[in-house]
A and B are shown apart, each in its own frame.
Chain A
Amino acid sequence: MMPPSSKARRYKDRIAFGLCVVCIAIAVVPLVSILVEVVANGAPALSTEFLTSPPGVIGEAGGGVGNAIQGTLILMGLSSAIGVPVGVLAGIYLAEFGNNKLGHSLRFLNDVLAEFPSIVVGILAYSIIVATTNIGFSIGPLSIRFTTGLGSFSTIAGAIALSIIMLPVVTRTTEESIKLVPATIRDAAAALGIRKWRATVSVVLSTARGGVVTGVLLAVARITGETAPLILTVLGSNLFFTGLTHPVDALPLRIWRLALLPYDYAREQGWGAALVLIIIVLTLNVTVRLVTRGRYSMVRSRI
């Protein structure tokens, strides 16, 4: 009754393999094309002038993205300053105290926020920090009135928006890294009579240091490329950094604006800016992956 193992089945196996390879190709081709185009089109635009001067007059060639590079670096630093401490502490919370209902819910919400549209985060930052909102309410004879928001697009608004985007990623990776620390290390610390909280802060965290740093670097790489929230918070500008409460430019914003201008020089500058951006982002990414080769794959897969 059993037909012999037929050629058809063997062909199906081969075809399935072939299709899978095709899928890999379909994914790799765009990646290669993007890298090639960015390098080929962007390299001619690079020059000291391009990298250090602010934009020139619209419609005329010249000028550069110096202020955008500065803005991006400032935003990276500021948002890390806000997002990293909060994220690391939140990650510690989840790893150490998060085995109850509250912890599970917070972890869940964290994962939900991680996949959220960044433009909605931008709206949040806009509403609270950029727009002036008059909030007032009265309870009986007591009436409270205050105003939130600065009334203008600002660097700090952008930094906060980016730190919100960064937060879930840092939290997740910190938690994973702490969980990777073997129980024996905690046991050793306890046996030496070190209090649990002290043990966590000094011993466990420093052991988990590598994973935490990995997560932070990858989170920074991710927010460096974010554009949408910046549109709503920092607006962009043609000047170098003028203050936390003023608008600032950033590479992704500048790329977008340049891409939409109908001039040739703008297109060239756009590719140049893209090249600078991709160098920053890929350097961060590749360095992290090379340095932590093999280890922390659990951490990396959570980005």
Chain B
Amino acid sequence: MTVELQIETVKPANTQAFEAAGQGKTLGPFKMQTDKLNAWFGQNHVLKDLSIKFRENQVTAIIGPSGCGKSTLIRCLNRMHELVPGAKTTGNVLLDGVEIYSRRVDAVTVRRRVGMVFQKPNPFPTMSVYDNVAAGLKLNGVRNQEKLDQAVLNSLKRAALWDEVKNDLDKSGVSLSGGQQQRLCIARALAVEPEVILMDEPCSALDPIATAKIEELLTSLKEQYTVVIVTHNMQQAARVADFTAFLYLGQLIEYGETTNLFEKPEQELTERYLTGKFG
């Protein structure tokens, strides 16, 4: 049974919600934010006047039913959306207050500062574990063997993979298990020292044990990075995220501290989604 709702009865979150959420805690500034972001795939209007903010050093989850624009949103945050032919965006996206779509900003730099982990692990199959992690560094001109070794070590440690691969650094990237490959991709993303990490349903292709390992990782990652995680699994959002945003049909419906949103959602639509009335 499909649920059809008029857009007019839906009240999107307003900007005060962002400030209001997290009252009473010492929180850093907003690392990234969008302002009236619109995105299209050809004629398909996917994101509609979306304004959302992400707090520094916190994990923000983005939830919502399929097709609500979650993936499109985070791909706008690191300028990957524009790589698709026929894609278009209007509106602002700010990183540390600077517009990332401005002509003076190189998309390449943005993508280095805002890293991404994908739904299906995608290590480079022709490269070893070591080379996969070092790939981004070598692109940026780091040639010193010692520095590379150190960076690979640190990244793999931070991705909680070091112990499992430290004797197998020369093995092909795809010879690892699914969960290990995903942590390898995380390590690879961490190696270029991003400031924000975007995760597009990173655990949907993994088994529960591998998923648990990655969720554990997120708590330690947020100490150094700002994490935005898209997930269709509400329980996962409840487990790992400090803040949660609920998207529906390309619009932000509600935003708040995770516990508040899940226990006392303000919008009827949010409540209906959370209680499984539609999905």
Contacts and interface: CB of A to CB of B under 8 A. Distances in A.
A adjacent to B, CB under 8 Å: yes
Interface of A: 1-6, 8-10
Contacts of A5: 106, 108-109, 112, 140
Interface of B: 106, 108-109, 112, 139-142, 147, 151, 192-193
A171 to B, nearest CB: 34
A1 B142 contact: yes
Contacts of A1: 142, 147, 151, 193
B183 to A, nearest CB: 22
Contacts of A6: 141
9 contacts: A1-B193, A2-B192, A2-B193, A3-B140, A5-B106, A5-B140, A8-B141, A9-B141, A10-B108
Contact of A2 (B106, B108, B140): B140
B108 A4 contact: no
B109 A4 contact: yes
Contacts of A4: 109
A109 to B, nearest CB: 31
B203 to A, nearest CB: 28
A8 B192 CA distance: 18
Q: Interface residues of A: mostly helix, strand, loop or mixed?
A: loop
Contacts of A10: 106, 108
A258 B148 CA distance: 66
A4 B141 CA distance: 9
A186 to B, nearest CB: 33
A8 to B, nearest CB: 8
Contacts of B141: 3, 6, 8-9
Contacts of A2: 112, 140, 142, 192-193
Nearest to B147: A1
Contacts of B142: 1-3
Contacts of B147: 1
A220 B260 CA distance: 74
Contacts of B108: 5, 9-10
Nearest to B111: A5
B164 to A, nearest CB: 25
7 closest pairs, A vs B, by CB? A5-B109, A5-B108, A3-B141, A2-B193, A2-B140, A5-B106, A3-B140
Nearest to B193: A2
Nearest to B137: A2
A1 B112 CA distance: 13
Which of A2, A3, A4, A8: most chain B CB closer than 10 A?
A: A2
Nearest to A4: B109
A8 B108 CA distance: 13
B243 to A, nearest CB: 28
A8 B140 CA distance: 10
A1 B141 CA distance: 11
A6 B109 CA distance: 10
Contacts of B139: 9
A222 B115 CA distance: 51
Given A2-B142, A3-B141, A4-B109, 5 more contacts: A1-B142, A1-B151, A1-B193, A5-B106, A5-B108
A6 B106 CA distance: 10
B46 to A, nearest CB: 27
B138 to A, nearest CB: 12
